[in-house]
Every structure is written in structure tokens, then in C-alpha cells.
Amino acid sequence: MKQEPRDFSRGRFRKLFSRYLQSEIEEMHANNVCLNFIGDIKALSISLQKQIDSARNKTMNNTGLHLNIAVNYGGRAEITAAVQNIAQEIVDNKITVQDIDEQFIDDNLYTGQQPAVDLLLRTGGDMRISNFLLWQCAYAELFFTNYNWPEFTPENFVDIIREYQKRDRRFGGLNAE
């Protein structure tokens, strides 16, 4: 039997997550939400993997909001898995080293076919991204707030969006000045 990540092995979070998937998937599908799971899903129980696959398959063709749920996720582990997949493709003679570019690496990440992150919001006063979407946040605008998530209001979110709209996004380039 596979060993589940520590928090899931206790049962509480696993049961809550399983119930949430069962109770919300129909509404998400009706609202055209495309549900994606990022992380090492293979480390979870077979029954939970089946639920995740079912939810993903049910919503995969939806064209509205893309909702990523990070389960057993770490950015460094994600990049390591991508590099291992790419290395295996080289060993199997499916690609050459010259085929590898930023887009190829991006395509091998959990979020491969999704748009880049525009804005990353970190609540709770921490001033770090904590191993979260390391590759994807390369050109994201970062916002940090002291509010914890339950205290974070829609008004706080609107303020952050307004501030985001004022920023000069250069994607690694220099100011136009």
C-alpha cells in the first residue's frame, strides 16, 4: 500500500477533500470550471486518485475559469519531475538536447498547457513564495498582505487588482524610459 503524504494519512484532510470533490464537482462543471490538480497525485491513495481523475476528466473541456488545486505540491519537486521526464525522452531518443527550450520545459510542468501566472498573492504576512510555482512565477507580480485568508475581503482583493493594474509589467525587460 502506498504511503500517503503525512497530512492525508491522518484521514481528516483526505475525507474532507474527498467529500468536497463529490459535493462540488457537478456545480463546477455546470459553471464551466476546468479543474486541474498539481502535485504528486501518485502518492495519494488509489481511491483518491480515481476521484481526482474523474473530476479532472469531467471538467477537462470546460473553457471558463481554470482552477488549480495543489495537493502534495512543491515547486522544486515539480521542476525535478519535469527534468526527469525530459531526460527520459532523451534516453528514449524521442528528443535531442537541442529540442529543449523554455517552452519545452514549461510544457513538462504540472501546469504545462496553462497561461503564465500574472499575479501571486500571499496572505498572512509572510514575504516569501515558499516553494510555490517557482518556474511559473518568473514574471508574476507579487503581492503580500498581512491579512490571513479568512480575514481577506473582496475589497482587499479589489485594492490589489487596482495596484496590479498600475504596475509596469516588463517580463524581464527594461523600462521603456
pTM as predicted: 0.76
The per-residue pLDDT for range 18-57, each reduced to its tens digit, is 888 888 899 999 999 999 999 998 888 898 999 999 999 9
The per-residue pLDDT for range 120-151, each reduced to its tens digit, is 999 999 999 999 999 999 999 999 999 987 88
User: Per-residue pLDDT for 171 more than 90?
Assistant: no
What is the chain's alpha carbon radius of gyration, rounded to the nearest angstrom?
19
